[in-house]
């Protein structure tokens, strides 16, 4: 009479190995994220040396010139807030209003909705992440946006944003864009020029002052119209120290 093999418990043998592999992989991923997580707090005092989007650009030379907040026309901050994140000064990184606005804009323009990210979320993505929209990256973006709002004031977030976003192929930041498209400093941008730059943000490679595509110009005109009736936003851009 043969002896029966002893039963292995649920935590023993190969079954235990299979169960533990996802746990180990998860712990490794968490440790990696912890070890490589950006120094968000450091941006309160130091300017970024580069960004994930600048480093990933491989279609030619990059033009990027950092300037202070005072060296950028308030027209540009006003135009971008109007076009990208009307609640910028009032939210802590996330905005239900932006989601609604993205849906309404998509219906009006008969295209897929834009990302509906706040400017703080956009900044987190530009600085440290990839353009992909996978769930893990969105979680990282959300955490980083919360940290940006926690460590930096609105003036600093806006200053970094205006200096790092792409306004045309390989053209990053307000100063490079103003010099390239209008042959002037960022401090001299007019309301219309600012509206043109703000309108380029959803797709800077095809929508920029060099192309003057019909839908792009129509978007810039809408931005300029809204700028005329949102003086309250302009005042907050000009005096953000209270934010």
The arithmetic mean of pLDDT across residues 161-171, rounded, is 98
**Domains delineated in the chain:** 62-242 (1.10.3810.10)
Give me the torsion for CA of 148, 149, 155, 156, rounded to 10°: -20
For residues 62 and 172, the answer to whether their CB atoms sit within 8 Å is yes
Q: How far apart are CA 93 and CA 91, in angstroms?
A: 6
Q: How far apart are CA 166 and CA 151, in angstroms?
A: 24
With CA atoms as reference, report the closest residue to 47 among 143, 137, 162, 145. 162
Mean pLDDT across the chain: 86
pLDDT over threshold 50, residue 112: no
Backbone φ and ψ for 140, nearest 5 degrees, come out as -60, -45
The arithmetic mean of pLDDT across residues 182-204, rounded, is 98
Contacts of 131 (CB under 8 A, 6+ apart): 53, 56, 125
Which tens digit of pLDDT belongs to each residue from 60-110? Answer: 999 999 999 999 999 999 999 999 999 999 998 876 665 566 556 656 655
């Amino acid at each position: 009479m043969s002896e029966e093999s002893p039963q292995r418990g649920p935590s023993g043998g190969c079954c235990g190995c299979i169960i533990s592999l996802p746990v180990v992989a998860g712990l490794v991923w968490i440790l990696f994220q912890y070890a490589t997580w950006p120094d968000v707090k450091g941006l309160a005092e130091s300017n970024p040396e580069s960004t994930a989007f600048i480093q990933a650009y491989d279609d030619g030379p990059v033009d990027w010139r950092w300037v202070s907040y005072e060296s950028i026309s308030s027209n540009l901050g006003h135009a971008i807030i109007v076009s990208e994140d009307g609640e910028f000064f009032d939210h802590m990184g996330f905005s239900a209003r932006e989601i609604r606005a993205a849906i309404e804009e998509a219906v009006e323009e008969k295209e897929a909705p834009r990302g509906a990210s706040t400017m703080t979320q956009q900044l987190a993505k530009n600085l440290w992440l990839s353009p992909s929209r996978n769930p893990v990256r969105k979680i990282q973006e959300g955490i980083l946006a919360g940290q940006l709002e926690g460590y930096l004031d609105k003036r600093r977030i806006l200053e970094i944003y205006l200096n790092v976003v792409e306004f045309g192929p390989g053209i990053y930041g307000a100063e490079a864009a103003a010099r390239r498209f209008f042959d002037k400093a960022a401090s001299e941008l007019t309301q219309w020029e600012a509206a043109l730059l703000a309108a380029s943000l959803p797709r800077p490679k095809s929508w920029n002052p060099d192309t003057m595509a019909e839908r792009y110009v129509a978007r810039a005109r809408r931005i300029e119209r809204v700028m005329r009736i949102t003086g309250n936003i302009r005042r907050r851009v000009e005096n953000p120290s209270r934010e």
